[in-house]
Amino acid sequence: MVAVLTAQRLLAVAGTALVVVGLALGLRAGFGDLLTAPSLEQQTRLVAQQLRCPVCVGQSVAESDSTVANEMRAEIRARLQAGDTPADILASFEQRYGAWIINHPPATGWYVIVWAAPFLAAGAGAFALGRYLARRRPPDSAGPDPAPGDTPGAAPPVSAEVEQKLKDYL
């Protein structure tokens, strides 16, 4: 019996290890080439995504096909190559076009609200729910509520009819 259990457990561990290693190696084999440092184009895109295209509707510089966006991308690329950090580049665009050009409000000043609101709402929701549930909790719910005349552990008497019907629903 003991031997069987150990063999089973061994199998489980071995299976787990196999799944894990297999998945990881598979991913590595498939995408090893993508795990290297992001290409210049990719870095450019990450910056361009944060800038609004000045002449289009609802698109960022990364997505737009317009001439302006193309020029802006070229500038970002060139400055990244020259060693500027993304923050520097964003700041200079902001200076030129105003705060409007930044796609997402910086998390400073009043804008903190925009960033924090969803999490505050989730927190407030969880708090309100907790309060509500605590209020509704039956007073005897500290442990398993024992039904009158019930001895824990004993299988309750079940009518044959109910038992029979339950089989249909299982």
Give the count of residues interacting with other proteins (CB under 8 A). 73
SS3 74: helix
For residues 50 and 94, which CB has a smaller minimum distance to other proteins in the complex? 50
Closest CB 2 distance from other proteins, rounded Å: 19
Angle (CA) 12 16 22, round 5°: 145
Site residues (CB under 8 A) for other proteins, limited to 39-58: 39, 41-42, 45, 49-50, 52, 57-58
Site residues (CB under 8 A) for other proteins, limited to 103-142: 103-105, 111, 114-115, 117-119, 121-122, 125-126, 129, 133, 136-138, 141
Within its chain, how far is the Cα of 139 from the centroid?
37
62 near other proteins (CB under 8 A): yes
Closest CB 132 distance from other proteins, rounded Å: 9
For residues 60 and 84, which CB has a smaller minimum distance to other proteins in the complex? 60
Radius of gyration (Cα) for the chain, nearest Å? 31
Whether the Cβ atoms of residue 69 and residue 61 lie closer than 8 Å to each other: yes
- The CA distance from 32 to 21, in Å, is 15
34 near other proteins (CB under 8 A): yes
User: Residue 48: which of 10, 80, 18 has the closest Cα?
Assistant: 80
